Structures are given as structure tokens and as C-alpha cells.
Amino acid sequence: MLKISETALRQINEIVERHKGRKGPVKLMLHDIQHELGYIPFEAMERIAEAANVSVSEVYGVVTFYTQFTTEPKGKHVVNVCMGTACYVNNAQVLLDKVLELTKSPVNGTSKDGLFSVDATRCLGACGLAPVAIIDDKVYGTALQTGLAEARIREIIAEERKD
Ligand code: FES
């Protein structure tokens, strides 16, 4: 397990205090911690459980249910490639393979240099645009045909990696 910094602990405590006593505090706390730290460390789940008077396993259940929460730090850029049915039959696998090759990231993991995280996800709700990729919250529909997703990844690499 990752050891988190004093600064991260302080941020967690501030967020927990801010939402303590509000309605539905667990999701509010998780949302802010994910936003601030980029992931939900175990220490945060313990703190939230204590403050919201629920068990750690309940908090963990929420974290694993919603795809917006992650228990490991994400790369600087996050690529989601949809592998739902509509995307799958429209060659999402080819797109995913290309993304993995370009980013040098394992599927559902993070590249060694921390630049990219790539996730193969369930339906992203934009089936009419299949195959769909989301790069840093921007949707790239018909990503394979137009090559837009690939172009954006190449652009990020050119900006950030000096190979
Ligand atoms: S199957 Fe890919 S967006 Fe629905």
C-alpha cells in the first residue's frame, strides 16, 4: 500500500471536515478527495468511514461501484476506451490496441512514466458515436474512423515526452 504524504492527509482531513454532517457525505467527500489527490487512498476511506459513521467496507463499496473513483493514482492523462457492445462491433479493440501501443500503458493501468492511464470501460453512453474514446474528459466519437483520438494522444506525447 502507498504511504501518503502529510499534505495529502491534511487535505483529506479538511475535505472530511467540510462535508461532515451534510446529507450524503460519503460521496461528497470521495468526490473532492478524488479531485484533489487523483485517487482515493485507503487512509481516506478510513477517515470517511469514521466521520460518516459507516464501515470502511461500505465506503470501499461506493469507491468500487462508481468508475469515477480509483484506488490508485492515475496518470497525468486518462484515456478511456469503450469496450461496450456497440463499440466492440465497431472495432474498439483495434482502437484500444493502438492506444496501448502509443501510450506504452498496460490496459487498466498506467504507463511507467506516469503520463497515461488507459482504461477499457463499459458503455460510455454514446453508442451512436462508436467506437468511443474519452481523453481527459473530452469525448472522441467515431474515434477510429477519424483518427482524432490517436491524433490527440500523439499531440500529448509530442508535448510531454521527449523521446
Ligand atoms: S458501447 Fe461504447 S458508448 Fe455505448
Domain boundary among 41, 65, 89: 65
Q: Which atom of ligand 1 is nearest to the CA of 92?
A: 2
Q: What is the distance between the terminal CA atoms of the chain, rounded to a whole angstrom? A: 31
Q: Give the pLDDT of the chain (163 residues) as one tens digit per residue.
A: 557 899 999 999 999 999 998 888 999 999 999 989 989 999 999 999 999 999 999 999 999 998 789 898 889 899 999 999 999 999 999 999 999 999 999 999 999 998 999 999 999 999 999 999 999 989 999 888 888 899 999 999 999 876 5
Q: pLDDT tens across 110-127, in order?
A: 999 989 999 999 999 999
Domain co-membership, 107 together with 152: yes
Residue 45 resides in a domain: yes
In angstroms, the CA 37 to CA 76 distance is: 12
- How many domains does the chain fold into? 2
Q: Do the beta carbons of residue 75 and residue 111 sit within 8 Å? A: yes
Residue 1 resides in a domain: no
Distance 83 CA to ligand 1 centre (A): 7
- Domain residues for the domain of 155 are 77-160
Which CATH number characterizes residue 118's domain? Answer: 3.40.30.10
Distance 68 CA to ligand 1 centre (A): 17
CB within 6 Å of ligand 1 — which residues? Answer: 82, 84-87, 123-127, 130, 132
Domain co-membership, 51 together with 102: no
Cis amide bond preceding 131, omega within 30: yes
Distance 95 CA to ligand 1 centre (A): 13
Domain co-membership, 13 together with 60: yes
